[in-house]
Amino acid sequence: MTRRVLITGAGAGIGRATARLFLAEGWEVTLLGRRRAALEETAEGYTARILTADVGDPAQVDAAFAELPRLDVLFNNAGIAAPAAPIDEIPVETWLEVSRTNITGMFLCARAAFGLMRRQSPRGGRIINNGSISAHVPRPGSTPYTMSKHAVTGLTRTLGLDGRAFDIACAQIDIGNALTDMASAFTTGVPQANGETRVEPVMDVGHVAAMVLHMASLPLDVNTPFVTIMARDMPYIGRG
């Protein structure tokens, strides 16, 4: 049976790397993002369903998921960061923008996937939320992003419980220092908890894609509720 996965934020970074691995492994892949050209670039050389939607817009999310006849896995990946700053220097508009994508967007996509998985036949599926090392410990000046990733953990725990009655598993992957455009600053120096600025180790984003594929391939009576994958020597253990 063909396995079906939808990946949000599939036009770049972790989403793109993960989508290409799933495509190479023969999955039926749906790419969701705001920019069609970027999604088409992700799918180059493969056949994929492309859906353009803003994950923070309820109508657009519902319309996108209505296109799917079935869904086995959602990689709830779309997310954004914000420039580091003390909380009183962060514009409220920045907080609202991060929350719209990282919290509301996660909720809306999980809600749509849960409803589809609950009602399809045979029922069930798996939701994998993209968390972050920041779901455990913050970086300096990261209030909006860190708050949003703690919210993702709450979503994961709740869906992991509520999904049991409908054969829906929910997991979270917390990623540290995967080398994407968003994380490129790690190679030039980022603020540390002690006030220093320091270059940090990074890892190839392909390792993240491989972990998501592994999580997605498990039978539904098995779950990995929380997985952390990180560059070995990054300042996480002992950070702060």
Q: Which residues are catalytic?
A: 145
No. of helices (H) and no. of strands (E), the chain: 7, 9
Q: What is the C-alpha separation between 114 and 238, in angstroms, rounded? A: 36
Interhelix angle 143-162/106-119, nearest 10 degrees? 10
Sequence-ordered list of residues with C-beta below 8 angstroms from that of 216, at least 6 positions apart, any chain = 3, 5, 22, 72, 73, 75, 126, 128
Strand, helix or coil for residue 172 = strand
The neighbouring-strand residues paired with 6 are 30, 74
Q: How far is CA 162 from the centre of its chain?
A: 20
Residue for token pair 């709830």: 76
Amino acid letter, residue 156: T
